[in-house]
Chains A and B, each alone.
Chain A
């Protein structure tokens, strides 16, 4: 779960980190009101992707009228496929210096890595490439967190020794997001030292592990539904499916992320384009298959569906039964190619045949078949 900036800042504030005064605005009038309360503001698009500044998603406003105009432009704007649902109006900061602070999961080290640099505010990726030594790193112990001397050492290594005490305190607070919130990435860039010497989060990114959302239902309820994402993805999430919308017209259902991804690759290789990625996972039940098909058929662009199921934990007979029921319940008339094998495959194939669905042979053949069937328009 990727939080929006204002949400991430609310969370940081709850951990005890200072944030600038700000107001969420869903309409231009609300933005104008925020500016009249806060004075000059930055009007910032709230989307869960980077690069919004370059996309025109951040505008400075001196007056309420300017804030209104900025919000008018930004709300509803498309930034990297996300329609901006609202803006965050934030009071301007008197910046003395900008620091980079963040953590993420270092997959190679199988550990969390805390990173601190005196060269915040600019493109940190460029710093990482050109001067990796300018980013101090610490792998905190995952059971007890970083010790005080380790944080102190980190701050000195980053060349920020004069801020050792207050900065170590901020890092410690940010680190709490790991054990307490199952955060897998958090970033404050810039972490601002203002002219009064206070340390304030200028921006914030926070991602909570989707596998741990069951431990954080409160966050999910509060923040999980704010973003008006892709309608199919929203519906799929409600139904508990792993689903990602893509641009093509062939619906894909597979079990296992790897198999599902390779099915997309095969469809493209066969000259088609996938409409989605939908992994029904191990142990997929009849109900899950029906849910998957229902979401895929919501998309009017879909001209046919390819289902690729290779079973280990997934049982072919259950999948087949679910598919037949789903097709009948949904009155589906589009071409449907099913490639199925694995545990209880004979039973599964028999059920499909009995109900007039011909199982495909190999995944590659099935991909070619669905592409051929969908190149000419079919009745829905």
Chain B
């Protein structure tokens, strides 16, 4: 019926008393997400947006049985927040924070090897949403609609764009996953594609990639080895000048790998339809 997040997921918000944490915890609650609490060191024992606040993630897990977390803390503190969540036994860690230094994320990734059950989404990602059921992160519920299309994307705003177009065309989504645009990430395209492959409720798949890295190429290879999903891919950044950094640290073109062209070719070779504009995605999928 969905991947990663369903009605049974118990969610906490790390940084719940901050501006973004507050706003998005409310949005998550509003659509019915089981937000069971939040953390904010020094504010433990209080209530915020109607849920209990704890000083540490371990306290929150002990008191609520939380198994998922959304992180809304500033970059200097986010790496520690991710590791704290893993150490406390959280199995789905969604880090929204943008601007975490790469070296911090490399250390975090290494730390997470000690917690194989913990899955990290992001950082610098919009999170995920299972329409009509639950969300962790900042994807607006209004652009979604329950259904059978799996959507996985590196870009936040392009996810909304495509989700919105799919919903408008009556093509609901099983789960929408934004993996984030940083060079060092948690879940990859391949990880998420493999999850959708196993999800019976998902029949169609949209992959939205961008220039930089080779995760798209790897996901294309995976799909090329045999897939039951009808898939459309879209790659942004075909007109981006080489070597110019474009905001996402990931969006750097190096050599022949990682270009929009190499990614599109990889998908075509795998028998996946490639959309040239986001508007084409819907028609190619139907």
Interface residues of chain A, those whose CB is within 8 Å of chain B, are 49, 105, 107-108, 110-112, 125, 141-143, 178-179, 182, 184, 209-212, 214-215, 242, 244, 246, 254-262, 264-266, 268-269, 274, 277, 279, 281-283, 309-313, 341-343, 362-364
Asked whether, in the complex, the Cβ of B160 is within 8 Å of the Cβ of A310, the reply is: yes
Interface status of B197 (Cβ within 8 A of chain A):
no
For the complex, give the distance between the alpha carbons of A179 and B239 in Å: 35
Q: Does B44 contact A (CB under 8 A)?
A: no
- Contacts of A364 on B, CB cut-off 8 Å? 277-279
Taking the closest CB of chain B, its distance from the CB of A223, in whole angstroms, is 17
Contact of B236 among A141, A265, A283 (CB under 8 A): A265
Smallest CB gap from A269: residue in B: B277
B250 at the interface (CB under 8 A from A): yes
**Are A277 and B246 interface neighbours, CB within 8 A?**
yes
The yes or no answer to B143 lying at the interface (CB within 8 A) is yes
Query: B109 an interface residue at 8 Å Cβ cutoff?
Result: yes
Task: Check: B155 CB closer than 8 A to any chain A CB.
Answer: yes
Cβ of B238 under 8 Å from chain A: yes
Do A310 and B161 touch across chains, with their CB atoms under 8 A apart? yes
18 extra interface residue pairs, beta carbon distance < 8 Å, beyond A182-B103, A257-B251, A262-B236: A105-B106, A105-B183, A209-B249, A211-B100, A211-B249, A215-B101, A255-B157, A258-B155, A259-B161, A262-B155, A265-B237, A266-B277, A268-B239, A279-B246, A313-B126, A313-B156, A363-B161, A363-B278
Q: Which of B76, B104, B208 contacts A258 (CB 8 A)?
A: B208
Q: A residues within 8 A CB of B255?
A: 125
**How close is A175's CB to chain B, nearest CB, in angstroms?**
12
Residues of A contacting B104 with CB < 8 Å? Answer: 212
Chain A minimum-CB-distance residue to B280? A364
Question: Do residues B210 and A258 form an inter-chain contact, with CB atoms below 8 A?
Answer: yes
Are A265 and B155 in touch, CB under 8 angstroms? no
Known: A49-B243, A244-B246. A258 touches B158 (CB 8 A): yes
Q: Is B185 on the interface with A (CB-CB < 8 A)?
A: yes
> Which residues of chain B have C-beta atoms less than 8 A from A283's C-beta?
20
Hey, which bits of chain B sit against chain A, CB under 8 A? 20, 24, 75-76, 96, 98-107, 109-111, 126, 138-140, 143, 153-158, 160-161, 164, 181, 183-185, 208, 210-215, 218, 236-241, 243-251, 255, 276-279
- Chain B residues lying within 8 Å of A264, measured Cβ to Cβ, are 237, 239-240
**Cα distance A362–B251 when bound, in Å?**
24
In order of increasing CB-CB distance, the 3 nearest A-B pairs are: A258-B155, A256-B157, A259-B157
Instruction: Establish whether residues B236 and A111, one from each chain, have CB atoms under 8 Å apart when the complex forms.
Output: no
Residue of A107, A255, A257 contacting most chain B CB atoms (<10 Å): A257
Q: Which of A110, A179, A262, A274 is within 8 Å of B185, CB to CB?
A: A110
Residues of B within 8 A of A268 (CB): 239
Distance from A253 Cβ to chain B, minimum over Cβ atoms (Å): 12
Nearest residue (CB) in B for A341 is B164
Complex formed: what's the CA distance from A139 to B183 in Å? 17
Minimum C-beta distance from B128 to chain A (A): 12
Q: Looking at the assembled complex, report how far the CB atom of A276 sits from the nearest CB atom of chain B, in whole angstroms.
A: 11
Chain A to chain B contacts (Cβ below 8 Å), 30 pairs? A105-B106, A112-B106, A125-B255, A143-B111, A182-B103, A209-B102, A209-B103, A209-B249, A211-B102, A212-B101, A257-B210, A257-B247, A258-B181, A259-B161, A262-B237, A266-B277, A279-B246, A279-B247, A281-B247, A282-B156, A283-B20, A312-B126, A312-B138, A312-B139, A312-B140, A313-B20, A313-B96, A313-B138, A341-B160, A342-B143
| A261→B246 contact, CB < 8 A | yes
A110, A111, A262, A283 — most chain B CB neighbours (10 Å): A262
Q: Are B20 and A312 in contact (CB under 8 A)?
A: no
CA distance A341 to B248 in the complex (A): 22
Q: A105-B184, A143-B110 are in contact. Are A312 and B278 (CB under 8 A)?
A: no
Most chain A CB neighbours (cut-off 10 Å) among B24, B109, B138: B138
A364's closest neighbor in chain B, by CB?
Answer: B279
Look across to chain A and name the residue whose beta carbon is closest to the beta carbon of B98. A282
Q: How far is the CA of A184 from the CA of B102 in the complex (A)?
A: 8
Closest Cβ of chain B: how far from A256's Cβ, in Å?
3
Residues of B within 8 A of A363 (CB): 161, 278
Instruction: Given A244-B246, A258-B158, A312-B156, check contact A212 B103 (CB 8 Å).
Output: yes
Complex: A258 Cα to B247 Cα, angstroms: 9
A246: B residues at CB distance < 8 A: 241
Interface residue from A142, A242, A269, A362 paired with B107 (Cβ < 8 Å): A142
Contact B102 A260 (CB under 8 A): no
A283 to B98, CA, bound (A): 11
Q: In the complex, how many angstroms separate the beta carbon of A286 from the nearest chain B beta carbon?
A: 15
In the assembly, what is the distance between CA of A105 and CA of B109, in Å? Answer: 13
User: By the criterion CB–CB under 8 Å, are A105 and B110 in contact?
Assistant: no
A215 to B99, CA, bound (A): 13
A182 CA to B99 CA in the complex, in Å?
13
Query: Closest approach, in angstroms, between the C-beta of A318 and any C-beta of chain B?
Result: 12
B183 touches A107 (CB 8 A): yes
Q: A211 CA to B279 CA in the complex, in Å? A: 33
Closest to A212 in B: B101
**Which A-chain residue is minimally distant from B106 (CB atoms)?**
A142
Which of B100, B126, B156, B276 neighbours the largest number of chain A CB atoms within 10 Å of its CB?
B156
Nearest-neighbour CB distance to chain B for A345, whole angstroms, equals 9
